[in-house]
Amino acid sequence: MQLKLKPGQGTRVILLRHGQSTFNALGLYQGCNDESVLTELGRKDARITGNFLKNIDFDAVYISSLKRAQETAKEILEVIPVKKNAIYISEKLRENHLPSWEGLAFQYVCETFPDVYKLWKQRPHEFWMEINNQTRFYPALDLYQRVQEFWQEVLPRHVGQTLLIVAHGGTNRALISTALGISPEYYHLFQQSNCGISIVNFPDGLLTSGQLTMMNLNYHLDVLSSRDEEESVF
């Protein structure tokens, strides 16, 4: 089974979240912590995803600088032919930075900091953490600013082309939201699973024209990658 895209969609961007990581398997917050790497399942799913995408002609690939995204991209690029000079590593695609929680269990954070956790889930645009016990850092606002800058840098370079972005759940949510003009208040709206695929089209190549045409596709992980079926996507 492979994904086949219809031609003539302007600039098309395929967003992919990394495969299952060690922190995912343990239920830990990852953020920008770079100790988390792919599990064997994560590598397997990345290979399946590579086969699912191999019929798409990608003009460029952009990858987060964190290990789990790098390892996912490595598995995929074993299958997808992309020129080395068309592969880019971007710090702007790093995961949402949650400095006080990274490495902690979800359950521990929820039970130990219930009011703070509630604010994070209900009003992420107002949520902040202290850095060095003095500076207020707003994770969602910082992430949205980063990905907004990413779009503004990348889209003008690739008008009318097809791009693959290998990043993170939070990063991809923010990429989708900024492409659609949705504010950080709704950060938790677009959930992204491991190796989930979303597609955003920009008919005129501009950020203001973003259209979400696929959201968190992951059924390819439940079928054999050797099947010859093709799925047409608009």
How many CB atoms neighbour CB 51 within 10 A? 20
Pick from 137, 172, 150: nearest CA to 92: 150
N-to-C CA span, the chain? 17
CA angle, corner 195, sides to 190 and 198, nearest 5? 45
CA angle, corner 101, sides to 96 and 103, nearest 5? 95
- Active-site option among 18, 97, 158, 168: 18
Q: Is 125 among the catalytic positions?
A: no
Strands (E), the chain: 2-5, 11-17, 60-64, 87-90, 129-131, 135-137, 162-167, 197-202, 211-217, 230-233
Q: Is 229 among the catalytic positions?
A: no
- Active-site option among 71, 75, 95, 102: 95
Active-site residue set? 18, 95
